[in-house]
Structure 1
Amino acid sequence: MPDDDSAPQKLTPELLLQAYQIGYFPMADDATADEIYWVHPELRGVIPLDRFHISKSLRKTVRQDRYIVTSDTDFRTVMQRCAEPQAGRRVTWINEQILEAYTGLFELGFAHSVETRTEDGTLVGGLYGVSIGGAFFGESMFSRATDASKVALVHLVAKLRAGGYRLLDTQFQNDHLVQFGTMEVPADDYQILLADAVQTEADFAALPDQMPGSTILQSITQTS
């Protein structure tokens, strides 16, 4: 990553790939900021894929197939929705530079989105992240309907488990993510997990889209 006294580097898909593989990710002060800064947390949020927790109420929602769930059908829009102010978060770290760089990553096949829609096709929730080898780095999610982003996360975990992923990085731990089993990992331990995961072959598309919620739940709860 750039030294403090070096000239700012343009954020590119190639630079992002280098950064993620050594534990860094970019943020901006807000959506209108022109520049970004690099973050390398001392404690990293991680959801163990074999210990993902789903509440009874969320299980019911997933099983009812309340939303149509797809992946990689509207990546840029998901990012734009994540960048909008939400309840409890009036300021976002996703600026134009980040939007363009991650869209470029998506076009190269190193970023993915999961979308939730109503029956009429309205996009009401979703998430996006970066995928390198067997590591998936969750970036952000948004919700405009009850449990819409949570359902997207459940489907994401099912896809990662089916595809042979080893690491689901959430960057930080917060009150929202704790309910899913997120834990904090010291930076040194995280680097070990990261090094192993990025060298692992994985397939984000191993699980087809729009599978019944009951099948999704079964794929998560069964022993690997």
Structure 2
Amino acid sequence: MAAMRTERGLDRLVNFSDATVAIAITLLILPLVDEASQIGNLSFAEFLGKNSWEMIAFVISFAVIARFWVVHHRIFESVRDYNAWVVWFNFLWLLAIVVIPFSANVLAAGEGQRPEIYALYIGDMLLATIATRLIGGVLYRHPELMTDAARAEPADRTRGLAEVMIMAVALVLAVLVPAINLYWLFLLFLAEPLHRVLRLAVYGRDAERTSRSGG
């Protein structure tokens, strides 16, 4: 693979990833399409009431995939070359993405407080987050794979680590306290403050002031 890397190869990697995401995000709506075909004499309000949990699972999962794609897109905007580690970690990320429609359907069909279902759903999100972090780690260790503009920016090895930590905590809490169910994911709002703490711990106050000033 190292001897055959080309710009076209990178384009194919990105295009393949985008196509996979597009298919996964489309699959999310198919269960609701099936339900809509059986609406019969139900009013639309009754249909929404009957499938409210399925609607919620669809909206959450759509937003999750969209968020993962945005982060993936931002990473690959800084990439000009790739190696085997980038390819295989990207496939790990794609594995997590294609499982999201399945886990969303299981979530929508599940009734009551089901910690194993929450574990499947949040665990899949954790896998995607870890895969993203691994891709970023390869780029930090091999800056020659990045564009000149990306290499000129200060390196931040703590980027994405806060999300991994919080997602892991949310996974454990969802299993231990399933009554809160997916609301544990609101802990992700703490990701940015935690990232600042980690950055301060690793790089010190000078790097934190540089980050705030945009330098």
Q: Structure 1-normalised TM-score? A: 0.27
Greater strand share, structure number:
1
Greater helix share, structure number:
2
Relative contact order, higher structure (CA 8 A, sep 6+): 1
Structure of larger gyration radius: 2
